[in-house]
Amino acid sequence: MQTADIQRRWLDFFGQRGHTVVPSASLIADDPTVMFTIAGMVPFIPYLTGVVPAPYPRATSVQKCIRTNDIEEVGKTTRHGTFFQMNGNFSFGDYFKEGAITYAWELLTTPESDGGLGFAEKDLWVTVYEDDDEARQLWKKIAGLPDERIQSMGKEDNYWSTGQPGPAGPCSEIYFDRGPAYGPEGGPAVDDTRYIEIWNLVFMQYAIEDVRSKTEFRIVGELPNKNIDTGMGMERVAFLKQGVENMYEIDQVRPVLDAAAALSGRRYGANPDDDVRMRVIADHVRSSLMLMTDGVAPGNEGRGYILRRLMRRSIRAMRLLGVDAPSFDTLFAASRDAMSAAYPEVAQNYDRVSRLALGEEDAFLRTLVAGTSILDVAVADTKTGGGSVLAGDTAFQLHDTFGFPIDLTLEMAEEAGLSVDREAFDRLMAEQRSRAKADAKSKKAVLADVSVYGAFRSLGETRFLGYDELEAETRVVGIIVDGVSVDRATVGQLAEVILAETTLYAESGGQDADEGTIVGEGFELEVLDVQRPIAGLVSHRVEVRTGEVSVGSSARTVVDGDYRRAATQAHSATHVIHAALRQTLGHDAHQSGSYNKAGYMRLDFSWNQALSPDTRSEIEEISNIAVRDNLEVETRVMGLDEAKSLGAMALFGEKYGDRVRVVDIGGPWSRELCAGTHVSRSAEIGMISLVSESSVGSTNRRVEALVGLDAFREFATERALVQQLTAQLKTPRDSLVDRIAELSQQLKTAEKRIAQFEAQKLSERVPALVQSAESVGAVQLVAADLGAVGSADDVRSLAQSVRERLAGSAAVIALAGHAGGKATVIVATTPTARDAGARAGELAKRASAVLGGGGGGKDDLAQGGGPKLELVGDALAAVREALQG
């Protein structure tokens, strides 16, 4: 019996018995916090838990599922697969235990010729929860099973709950006896290899509280509506009905296994290790095919990373089978042909899936060559050094530079008898993710050519709903990739997304764009920037994190609430500081520009001289008094002329329409035209700390401030610094300035004395250096490493002093020293030496090359150097060799 036939029989059976046939949901879970659909009941959870009223009393489905938590067991057991199908029938307050048991027994034991699955009654066993006498009696009544084939199990095996307070209930599981060749007698309680579980019936009848573990909770009563949730494992039933040994040999999986065997020239069944590899390939290729069909693309995070891991494990397994050449073209085609009967969309989407698969394989095969050589060297070095743990930074380099998933490095290291420093690897990965996110946010991508937006703008304006809501349902109107309008964007791509409505604020009026996400059925987009490329249209610059987004898709905009709150505080603080400036300096201090984002604001204003410290303090104090007074913040939309008549200030150079938004803080105290987001009362700003004031032109100044929590953190940092200084200097806070000035003067005096002392010590070396002169070629050479020196000037002074002593001879002086982690070489020549052909610039250049740096200068005096302190002797030797030549 083919797997597609089992699927058809299942849906027909329950459909004929009043169940609504529900198509399989996507493998990409609706819940953005969950990567995949991991169980057949997941799409029905809202109905089973009563959160949402069920739209039908009973339903049935064959649900696609992905689980990778047991990925290491794939290929090693008869029943572990990353992709599987769960056949389910569900009752929402309709039939209960008797109905569920009746349907299960009828479908399982009805002959195949009559539409059933044709299992022999004698081969079926069941388990029930140890306290569920009702279920035991029903099995005896409906199926006629004897007591010995109805085994009682505890909560660990036969009780279901979500792990949270809410619905729960006992389970009853149906097992098939594979016969004595597979294990001892005694039923599933004795051996679950011989007795294979094929169907689980969950009787959701109780409400539980005080949940402490899977087996520790308190039953508080029966549910008003009792539900049924069942799941029959499609792959398990298939391998039993097809008479094969395991799920990897069924009709939907075996063709890939056979293709891997043919490509490798190895026979399945001949070698246990090869068998495991072939089963891994068969499972992972099918899982990858189904994931990509549902819109997942290979990537470095989330769902994309799981998919990439499956594909790369497949490639790795093929290499262990001796196949280094590309194989996905053959393997994926075999899986397509095997799965299309049950899922026609696999064939319909195969061109796209194939391109993704072949591209991923090509890229990874190239990286394997380079990465494997790096890993082999690292493994050899680790073993040579007597170590047993591969360094975490090596694993990170393999991941970051060569695209090796960490699990692949773990596998290859284990094969070599080593473990990996996973803690160090995880730390480096966390640091990289933090840097990457900060970098992505800091780079404002260039928007597409303005002409591309015309078609979208003709459909209407983008409605901004973000003044009142942080989330809103909307629709994808357009997608732009690399400046071109397209119908979809996939995982890893950067794109611009145009929506019918949005809650995400577009950068304008000095306020930076919101942070947040755009999520929809099967996709999640990280918002990198939001802009208004043309009037009335908002473009969201995004990275597709998971899935595939297409034009016409329903979507939900989700603003990062913490970021919006902090950005709102900063924008309101900008208005407050502007009002404080004008109150302090007069109306000539007019805003000429601003920028604000979460926790930070800057404001440019017309003024032609620096603000005194007292003036800065006054502005800061007025601003914080306004915050303390909790002034009302009111926003109104009115005509432009009316707004101007009320004294609302407009930003110079800004364009305004006929209708404008006026923001008042404390009534007329601060009244400006502004489309930004603001607090509702000034106390919500929190705190304003004026951190700098500077010039941005001959007639403009700039003030910068930290706002809210960022301002508090700045004060806390400064307070901690003052406390450290008072403790270390043993000086009261009020005397710190004088004490630091005193110490600074003492330090300058000491440094001057030290410099004099060092210069004197160096000058005392002149006679010895003159005596060290040796004949090299046609000149006398003085070459010496002075060691640590105060500065390059000290070396130069000493070289010149030695040259003065040797002025009457053909002499070359080459002195080296190091300061600040860098070596310095000074070469000085006398006139007679220069007549003999010695050139200081050329000699300094040769020495510097040895030190890993550069140098040069005039014929009489030149300087060079480099970072390689350990090669100073070699650098001086290079001068000697040049003179000998």
Is residue 566 a part of any domain in this protein? no
pLDDT level of residue 369 (50, 70, 90 thresholds): confident
Q: Is residue 497 in a domain?
A: yes
Letter string b/e over residues 398-417, b meaning 16 or more CB atoms within 10 A of that residue's CB: bbeebbbbbebbbbbbeeee
The per-residue pLDDT for 445 is 45
Is 742 a member of any domain? no
pLDDT > 90 fraction of the chain, expressed in percent and rounded:
57
Lowest mean pLDDT among 9-23, 47-61, 213-227, 393-407: 393-407
Residue labelled with tokens 């053909």: 810
**According to the annotation, is 399 in a ligand binding site?**
no
723: in domain: no
What tokens does 125 get?
């066993």
Q: Is the pLDDT of residue 446 over 50?
A: no
Estimate to the nearest angstrom the gap between the alpha carbon of 701 and the chain centroid.
40
Least confident of 73-82, 101-110, 278-287: 73-82
Query: Which tens digit of pLDDT belongs to each residue from 152-211?
Result: 999 989 998 877 777 889 999 999 999 999 999 999 999 888 999 999 999 999 988 888
Q: What is the mean pLDDT of residues 603-607?
A: 86
Same domain for 878 and 815: yes
- What is the average pLDDT across 39-46? 85
Alpha-helix residue ranges (DSSP H) falling in 385-511: 392-402, 406-415, 422-442, 454-457
**Could you tell me which residues come within 8 angstroms of residue 452 by beta carbon, excluding any fewer than 6 positions away?**
480, 483, 484, 485
Across residues 553-558, what is the average pLDDT? 95
Contact at 8 Å (CB) between 855 and 835? no
Whether residues 188 and 41 fall in one domain: yes
Give 656's pLDDT tier (boundaries 50, 70, 90).
low
Strands 166-177 and 124-129: antiparallel
| Cβ within 8 Å of residue 881, ≥6 positions away | none
CATH number where 634 lies: 3.30.980.10
The verdict on 485 and 576 lying in the same domain is: no
Asked whether the beta carbons of 90 and 18 are under 8 A apart, the reply is no
Average pLDDT, integer, range 92-113? 95
Nearest residue to 144 (alpha-carbon basis) of 186, 190, 105: 105
Co-location of 39 and 160 in the same domain: yes
Answer whether 359's CB lies under 8 Å from 396's CB.
no
Is pLDDT at 562 greater than 80 in this prediction?
Answer: yes
Least confident interval from 176-185, 215-224, 755-764: 755-764
Q: How confident is the model at residue 383 (pLDDT cuts 50, 70, 90)?
A: confident
Residue 44's pLDDT band (boundaries 50, 70, 90)? confident
Q: Is residue 79 part of a domain?
A: yes
- 364 part of a folded domain: yes
Average pLDDT over residues 769-787: 90
Mean pLDDT calculated for residue range 249-275: 94
Who wins on pLDDT, 414 or 373?
414
Q: What local confidence, expressed as pLDDT, does residue 384 receive?
A: 81
Q: Are residues 451 and 513 in the same domain?
A: yes
What single DSSP character describes residue 28? B
End-to-end CA distance of the chain: 90
Residue 449, pLDDT score:
55
Say how far apart CA 826 and CA 714 lie, in whole Å: 47
Residue 669 has pLDDT above 80, yes or no: yes
pLDDT digits (tens, 9 = 90+) for 683-708: 999 999 999 999 876 567 899 999 99
Question: What letters, b where the CB count within 10 A reaches 16 and e where it falls short, cover 427-437?
Answer: ebbeeeeeeee
Which neighbouring-strand residues pair with 127? Answer: 151, 173
Share of the chain above pLDDT 70, in %: 95
- Please name the residue that has the structure tokens 């009967």: 341
Q: Tell me which of 794 and 369 has the higher pLDDT.
A: 794
Model pLDDT, residue 28: 86
Asked if 202 and 60 sit in the same domain, the reply is yes
Mean pLDDT of the chain: 88
Confidence bin at 51 (pLDDT 50/70/90):
low
- Look at residue 444 in the predicted model and tell me its pLDDT: 44
Residue 535 counted as domain residue: yes
Specify the amino acid at residue 427: R
Is 575 annotated to bind ligand?
yes
Q: Looking at residues 659-680, what average pLDDT do you find?
A: 92
Identify the CA nearest to 441 among candidates 520, 533, 542, 546. 542
Q: Which is higher by pLDDT, 285 or 410?
A: 285
Q: Is pLDDT of 357 > 60?
A: yes
For residue 851, the enclosing domain spans 765-884
Q: Which tens digit of pLDDT belongs to each residue from 622-645?
A: 999 999 999 999 999 998 889 888
Question: Is 571 annotated for ligand binding?
Answer: yes
- Predicted local distance difference test score (pLDDT) of residue 169: 92
DSSP one-letter code for 55? S
CA distance 69 to 92: 30
Same domain flag for 553 and 636: no
Residue 345 scores a pLDDT above 80: yes
pLDDT for the residue 61: 95
Instruction: Clarify whether residues 301 and 405 are in a common domain.
Output: yes
CA-to-CA distance for 726 and 519, rounded, in angstroms? 53
Which H or E run includes 24? none
Same-domain pairing of 489 and 424 = no
pLDDT at site 443: 40
Do residues 239 and 250 make contact, with C-beta atoms less than 8 angstroms apart? yes
Query: What is the band of 438 on the pLDDT scale with cuts at 50, 70, 90?
Result: low
Per the CB < 8 A criterion, the answer to whether 287 and 38 are in contact is no
pLDDT of 287 higher than 50: yes
**Which residue, of 438, 467, 488, is where some domain finishes?**
438
- Residue 164 and residue 280 in one domain: no
Domain termination site, one of 204, 221, 243: 243
Are residues 157 and 231 located together in one domain of the fold? yes
**590 carries a ligand binding annotation:** no
Q: Evaluate whether residue 73 is within a structural domain.
A: yes
Residue 594 contacts residue 510 (beta carbons within 8 Å)? yes
pLDDT score of 323 more than 80? yes
Neighbour-count burial for 644-682, b at 16+ CB within 10 Å, e otherwise: eeeebbbbeeeeeeeebbbbbbbeebbbbbbbbbbbebb
Check: CB of residue 199 under 8 Å from CB of residue 10. Answer: no
Do 334 and 368 fall within a single domain? Answer: yes
Return the closest-CA partner of residue 543 out of 440, 468, 470. Answer: 440
Q: How many domains does the chain have?
A: 5
**CA–CA distance, 277 with 330 (Å, rounded to integer):** 17
Instruction: Kindly tell me the burial class for residue 486, based on how many C-beta atoms sit within 10 Å of its own C-beta (0-12, 13-18, 19 or more).
Output: middle
